[in-house]
Amino acid sequence: MDTVALAILALGAMSLVLGAVAIRRDRPLCWQFALPAPLPATGEGRFETVLDYRPETGQAHAPAILPRDGGLSVVWFEGSAEAQPDVDIRGVDLIRNGDGWQVSDPAPRLTRAALGRALEPRQLVVTLGNTVAHEAMPGRFFATVVSVGGWAMAAIADVTMSPAGPVTARKLDLSPILNRSFLVKSPMLAYADGSHALPAYFEMGPTFGALVRFDAKGRVRDRRWMRSRRAKVIQPMIVPLDARRALAFLRDFDRSGTLWLCRSADGGQSWSAPEPTSRPNPSAPVAALALGDGRILMAANDDATAPDALILSISGDEGASWREIHRLSGPGALRYPMLRRVGDAIALVHSTGGKRGIAAHIMSASWLAAR
Amino acid sequence: MRAAVEWAGLAVVLGWAGFALAGLWAGPLGASAAGAAVAALVLARRGGLVVSGAMALLSPVGVMLPALALRHMAAAWGLPVAPFATAELLIFLAAYGLFLASAMGLVPVDLYRLGYAPVPVAAMVLAVCGYGLWSGALFLPLVAVAGQALWVAGLGSSNWFDHVLHAMLVPVVVVALIARAG
């Protein structure tokens, strides 16, 4: 036997050992959703606007809710215009103060330069986009990062924050195409074992929604997709119905004029082909939240005659029908909603004035129960 | 540690680019000096716009690109390097095109996600070793196992394919095929 053959056999033996190590330490993913407890509908019914921020110039868009002690932070991207090389992440803290909310002044939270230095390996960051809280790791969030090109060349960075700014960051390994074209918009999804999954989407020409799973170290361990041949579906908003079943509402990038929907019956391992719903949608993302009592709360631009209005609706039949409970309008288009529980209340954030401002509202469970 | 591995890979790849350009005018010694200078510059200027932009473009660098770069430089120095057969390059290009198409959702199977899972990765690495044994070539098994070692150690991407493949292989292989046709 020649030297090359012996060397290859030795490599094969080494591979067997490496494979055994990897298989032995791999932990199977849990595919059972964690369901939220019902909100206690006690106290006064209130819907209050706690933030109405409008920068003097430029755009502020795509707000996200980050949990924090005593309240929440709202962060968004802001600059001369979307995807420009002067966009950074800014934000405010909303702290519960008796019956009201104390709001800090808007301030930079994540700059391109600081993120570039924190990324491992260090690299250029040209612009920033949507952010989402890392529910499994307090103090961290996911940011949409563009180093080269536009949104189609974006990647998702997992950023660890300190009060002074980003400490470390790394891009999620999601694509073999120079690790490009994955973005975030919707909040993470909880599983019964305490792990979380990240809804994401791919938009390099072809589009699809994805559900990203992580290992114990926070590295990508799996991804499952929501793929359509009939629409360019992006920005999946996933709502669990029980331990195994979930709905994913999807925006159609192609402007079919309707909201799309796909379903999972196996904890998110597979998703049905997305179908158009009867709900109008001006190619805008929606926010949805399981209320824990079988109802789903949704914030969406689903009035075809008033596509700029943001409408809160409730479904009691797993999304088959919806009842409008509240309407927010103007100035300009209200877009990119996000909903999240904050203690015994629900926070709603969205952009205002066609990407020219940020609003945040807090609604109590009693207010919802009365509708 | 991930950063160190990535920077070493980028320094080799960009150093090779310097080597190849200088090789148009200089012999192996001069070209190697130019390549080493470029590699040193990469490591020294990690925060600079050009180098951090190159990292942003090429990361995760993986094993294959630096390995091909080192292989090319070794051949220029006269070391025995068995070239890939034209048929091998053509089959690779077709298979890799299918792989990229699947990652973009253009075919119904997501091949890329196999690279996160230990059993498929172990099977693929052993298959590459088997191919190397059959063809009598060490290079591909070496890259496959080195990529598996980095993947298991958590150094670099959590997907094995990112260690052993790279989108820049498409232009590299196309240029190699065109050069052969000429």
Report d(CA A251, CA A194) in Å as an integer: 28
pLDDT band at A19 (very low <50, low <70, confident <90, very high): very high
Distance, CA of A108 to CA of B30 (rounded, Å): 49
Q: What span, in angstroms and rounded, lies between the C-alpha atoms of A50 and A304? A: 28
Select from B99, B106, B149 the Cβ nearest to the Cβ of A176.
B99
- pLDDT exceeds cutoff 80 at B182: no
In Å, how far is A281's CA from the nearest CA of chain B? 24
Q: Which of B52, B57, B122 sits opposite A178 (nearest CB)?
A: B57
A369: which strand partners? Answer: none
Q: How far apart are alpha carbons A169 and A157 in whole angstroms?
A: 6
Say which amino acid occupies A249. Answer: F
Q: What DSSP string describes A66-80?
A: EEETTEEEEEEEEES
> Domains of chain A by range and CATH?
32-369 (2.120.10.10)
- In sequence order, the 6+-apart residues with CB closer than 8 A to the CB of A236 are A186, A199, A200, A201, A209, A210, A211, A226, A248, A249, A250, A262
The confidence score (pLDDT) of residue A1 equals: 65
How many Cβ pairs closer than 8 A exist between chain A and B?
154
CA distance A353 to A244: 39
Contact by Cβ (8 Å): A170, A220: no
The Cβ-side half-sphere exposure at A272, using a 13 Å CA radius, reads 14
Q: Is B168 exposed, middle or buried (0-12, 13-18, 19+ CB in 10 A)?
A: middle
Of A116, A161, A165, which Cα lies nearest the Cα of A139?
A161
Residues 6+ apart with CB under 8 A from A329: A306, A308, A309, A310
- Chain B residues in contact with A217 by the CB 8 A cut-off are 154
Average pLDDT over residues B62-68: 96
DSSP B63: T
Cβ-Cβ contacts under 8 Å, A205 against chain B: 104
**CB-based contact B112 A171, cutoff 8 Å:** no
Residue A12: which of B106, B129, B159 has the nearest Cβ?
B129
d(CA B113, CA A221): 9
Which residues in chain A are contacts of B131 at CB distance < 8 A? none
Which of B45, B59, B151, B165 is best to mutate for the A interface (most A CBs within 10 A)? B59
Helix (H, G, I), strand (E, B) or coil at A59: strand
Q: Hey, are the CB atoms on A123 and B55 less than 8 Å from each other?
A: yes
A273, A224 contact by CB (below 8 A): no
Q: How far is B70 from chain A (nearest CA, A)?
A: 19
pLDDT, mean over chain A: 94
CB-based contact A148 B56, cutoff 8 Å: yes
Peptide bond preceding A163: is omega within 30 degrees of 0, i.e. cis? no
ipTM of the complex: 0.93
Place of tokens 């394919």: B161
- The helix/strand/coil state of A363 is strand
Angstrom distances, CA of residue B81 to CA of A317, B70, B73, B137: 67, 11, 10, 9
Which of residues 63 through 102 in chain B touch A, CB cutoff 8 A? 99-100
pLDDT at A41 over 80: no
pLDDT tens by residue, A226-273: 999 999 999 999 999 999 999 999 999 998 999 999 999 999 999 999
A299: tokens are 């914030």
Assess contact for A351 and A61: CB atoms under 8 A.
yes
CA distance B157 to B141: 19
Mean pLDDT calculated for residue range A11-32: 97
Contact A141, B64 (CB under 8 A): no
Which of A5, A204, A219 faces B104 most closely, judged by CB atoms?
A204
Q: What's the pLDDT at B1?
A: 80
* Beta-strand runs (E) in A204-245: 207-214, 220-226, 233-240
Write down the pLDDT at residue A139: 86
pLDDT at A294 over 80: yes
Indicate yes or no: CB of A22 within 8 angstroms of CB of B122. yes
User: CA end-to-end span of chain B, whole Å?
Assistant: 43
pLDDT of residue B119: 97
- Tokens 């809710």: give the residue: A65
Cβ distance A124 to B103 less than 8 Å, yes or no, reads no
Choose among B57, B122, B165: nearest Cβ to A19.
B122
Mean per-residue pLDDT over chain B, rounded: 94
Confidence label for A205 from pLDDT (cuts 50, 70 and 90)? confident
Q: How far apart are the first and last CA of chain A?
A: 80
CB-nearest to A11 from B46, B113, B129 is B129
Helix (H, G, I), strand (E, B) or coil at A222: strand
Residues 7-66 of B with CB under 8 A from A: 7, 10, 46-47, 49, 52-53, 55-60
- What is the mean predicted confidence (pLDDT) over A41-55? 90
- CB count within 10 Å of CB A246 equals 22
Distances (CA, A) of A34 to A30, A31, A153: 10, 10, 33
Confidence of residue A33 (pLDDT cuts 50, 70, 90): very high
In order of A152, A224, A284, B18, B98, the CA distances from A178 in angstroms are 12, 19, 28, 22, 16
Residue of B2, B122, B154 with shortest CB distance to A23: B122
Q: Given the structure tokens 């020294």, which residue do they identify?
A: B44
- Distance between A152 CA and the closest CA of chain B, angstroms: 12
Rounded distance, CA A223 to CA A173, Å? 10
Distance CA A360, CA A357 (A): 10
Query: Cα(A93)–Cα(A72) distance, rounded to whole angstroms?
Result: 6
A57: three-class secondary structure by DSSP? coil
With beta carbons less than 8 A apart as the criterion, state whether A327 and A313 touch.
Answer: no
The minimum CA-CA distance between B126 and chain A, rounded to whole Å, is 6
What phi and psi values does residue A15 have, to the nearest 5 degrees?
-65, -40
For residue B8, pLDDT beyond 80:
yes
What are A130's two structure tokens?
């949507």
- Residues in chain B with CB shorter than 8 Å from the CB of A177 are 100, 103-104, 167
Question: C-alpha A142: how far from its chain's center?
Answer: 8
Instruction: Report how far residue B175's alpha carbon sits from residue B170's, in angstroms, rounded to the nearest whole number.
Output: 9
Q: Which of A114, A108, A150 is nearest to A129 (CA)?
A: A150
Q: Which residues of B touch A206 (CB under 8 A)?
A: 104-106
